Structure 1
């Protein structure tokens, strides 16, 4: 009697527990577990954003590096100047000169027109100052200008040659950031004149030297020949005066050459 009673009591407890417990349902709305190798990669938009961020970071680091270099002190305690770090040009040029040389006439004319030629070397000495506005604004010429004239017959012939050797600094006003500008120039040197008279076989030569004061204005250009090359085309159009004693000679012409 006791064993049957216990079994009946256990059965009733089990049935009651099943009735009270909530029903279990399958979780059909849960997503399957995602393994690492099944995860999708970054999109193209995300890659572009990462690349843009890295580019901005590199640019910021480069700017900071230039600032650090500029703030460093030199060996003598002076700040380092970076005006010429991005310009590989040395500031030298050589040009051939040609034009009209109008000599002051001793025969009452306006002028004695001659064909003048010569050569000049230019140095942009403003680069040694390390001041950006003056780097290409200050320069100087070492110039030789020459003209010659002869007249007469086989029996009687006369002529002369005129030479100018001058050094003239100049100041150039650039057209914005272009390679062109206008300039004013003042300098000095010596003028050498040689005169000859030939009468049959007799020859007479007379020469002399006078100080010369040079002045003038002009247009100067230095465009690049190639995009990445240091060489430039250098040319000018100018009007110059040469004052020798009480005489005023003028040169109207131009020049062309190379700069580097």
Structure 2
């Protein structure tokens, strides 16, 4: 009986399949152990962090929506310029002649300050299209003989808004301008050794067209401002004209 039982046990052991550890089974990861990071995982975390930052930017912009549901423009951040320029003026000043001739052509000089007030409207099409000049232009004319002569000095003070038609997205464009101010005229009449001075103010209307440019200088906010223009000055019943240009800086 014992011999039969021993034989049965040995036969069962011989026929049983051995239990072997599988190579493809992953080792058990204990809670205190952290898996080693790879370069692919680092790249994935970097991309995920960038996406989160971009999402935050869009969320912040969405919180700044206007009353109509439109996003507020970020043009002030795209172009942080103040929209202010200072230019020196030079050209030909054609003065309406009091002697019945067409014009007395003289040198015209001056200076002007330009402010792009369209920037306060938060409208991208009008941002650089609307601007205004505060301008001073000077010219003089003298004529006569050794016995009697006259010397006239003219000062034009004007404020003139303008609308500029930009050439695409460039820094150049054509403009039309109209404004007003005053003309100060100082005249000295000399007869022999006697001098008589006559001064006066007249209302002034300024109008004209031209071409304007504001190319950037370097990588900063400084720009080169220049202009070529044809302007008219209406003072009383007389019409004077200015043909010239200006050069300066914008920031």
Give the alignment's TM-score, normalised by structure 1.
0.79
Residues 83 and 132, structure 1, Cα contact 8 Å, conserved in 2: no
Equivalence map 1:143-222=2 (5 Å): 143-151=135-143, 157-222=149-214
Structure label with greater radius of gyration: 1
Corresponding position: 1:42 with 2:35: no
Alpha-carbon distance, 1:255 to partner: 1.3
Distance 2:42 2:230 in 1: 62
| Matching residue of 2:108 | 116
Equivalence map 1:77-92=2 (5 Å): 82=73, 85-86=76-77, 87-92=79-84
Corresponding position: 1:225 with 2:217: yes
- Return closer, same or farther for 1:39/1:88 CA change in 2, 3 Å cut-off: closer
Distance 1:101 1:127 in 2: 32
| Matching residue of 1:248 | 239
Alpha-carbon distance, 1:95 to partner: 1.6
| Matching residue of 1:76 | none
Residues 173 and 213, structure 2, Cα contact 8 Å, conserved in 1: yes
Distance 2:81 2:37 in 1: 50
Q: How many residues align?
A: 245
Structure 1 gaps, min length 5: 1-8, 73-78
Equivalence map 1:34-113=2 (5 Å): 34=27, 41-44=37-40, 46-70=41-65, 82=73, 85-86=76-77, 87-113=79-105
Shifted more, 100-109 versus 213-222: the winner is 100-109
- Return closer, same or farther for 1:70/1:29 CA change in 2, 3 Å cut-off: closer
Corresponding position: 1:30 with 2:23: yes
Alpha-carbon distance, 1:179 to partner: 2.2
